[in-house]
Amino acid sequence: MVSGGSGRFQSMDSYVFAVVLVAAALHAGWNALLKLRVEPRIASTLLGIAGGLVALPICFVVPLPEPIAWAYIGASAIIHLVYFQALGTAYETGDLGQVYPLARGSAPLLTAMGMSFVGEPIGLVGWLGVVLLAVGVLALSLKGGRVSTEIEVRAVGFALLTALTIGAYTIVDGLGARSSGHVGAYVGWSFVTSAVVLVIYGLHRWGHGLVAAFRGSVGHLLLGGCMSVGAYGIALWAMTKAPIAIVGAMRETSVLFAALIGVVLLGEPLLKLRIIAGALVLAGVVLLRLA
């Protein structure tokens, strides 16, 4: 069984650091698939369900998680239900170019604060890295378009709710993976359990519309499910090897990968703000590596 004691997780080895960056790139990929031609809340729900379908075979080739881990798995499923609905609502509410980055930038700070309370502080250098990365993520997501003079309270609320759920499931799943006895077992069963909850909710909420939307985008959804399971599975494995707050913050470098995809593949302009923001993210990453 993997222990969660703070004395064991004081730094991040180079190989762990590298694979977390790979996970961040995969995370950027599956988030791009939320641009499906359906209502955003349906799209986010379907991606969660697809992740469960992809993860199901894992459950047949790994041992069952330790009994204590099931409480974490259940809690994670409920948190992910709230997360996917808050995420979908954030995508359809307000000026998302300014509001949703609030969620991605706030989440590492909330995770670091939460882990400090459960006995895994990250130190001054780690905190500086988290803050720089969070500020860089926020700035990196601003596309330099119009500046909204009014941000709807509802939109800000869902952005902060998304951030809160990201921080919550990161802590719950990190501790759960450590207690599970086998990271693969935790990954498989947590995705499957979350998918079952999402199916029940989705059918109650949208009925046949959920099924029709899945059939219409099954290829994209399964691809997104593969990337989601890969990205989060790597992250959970890393949380058994390094501080949870640092791994959680490193996942937010996915925004940097998304920006690079936009510039290199989609022809988006390379704005001065994005160069500065990217530098802040990279500075934060370096400090997190040294923490």
Contact criterion met (CB below 8 Å) for 110 and 171: no
Q: Which tokens go with 201?
A: 């909710």
Alpha helices in 60-119 (DSSP H): 69-92, 96-117
**Are the CB atoms for 97 and 214 separated by under 8 Å?**
no
Give the pLDDT confidence score for residue 49 in this predicted structure. 95
Distances (CA, A) of 13 to 167, 264, 283: 23, 30, 18
Contact between residue 52 and residue 61 where contact means Cβ atoms under 8 Å apart: no
Half-sphere exposure of 243 (CA within 13 A, CB side): 29
Angstrom distance (rounded) from CA 92 to CA 39: 8
pLDDT of residue 186: 97
Distance CA 118, CA 116 (A): 6
Query: What per-residue confidence (pLDDT) applies to 152?
Result: 63
**N- to C-terminal Cα separation, the chain:** 25
Do the Cβ atoms of 242 and 16 come closer than 8 Å? Answer: yes
The vertex-119 CA angle with 193 and 287, nearest 5°, equals: 95
Number of other CB atoms surrounding residue 17 within 10 Å: 18
Percent of the chain with pLDDT over 90: 31
Q: In the numeric block, which tokens belong to residue 122?
A: 């990250």
Angstrom distances, CA of residue 166 to CA of 8, 67, 90, 199, 219: 24, 24, 13, 20, 26
Tokens for 104, please give them: 């991605």
Query: Tokens at residue 285, please?
Result: 């990453």
Token readout for 204 is 């109650």
Tokens for 14, please give them: 């180079």
**Residue at token pair 């359809």:** 92
Distance CA 26, CA 18 (A): 13
Low-confidence ranges of the chain (pLDDT < 50): 1-7, 144-150
**229 Cβ contact partners less than 8 Å away, ≥ 6 residues apart:** 51, 54, 55, 187, 191
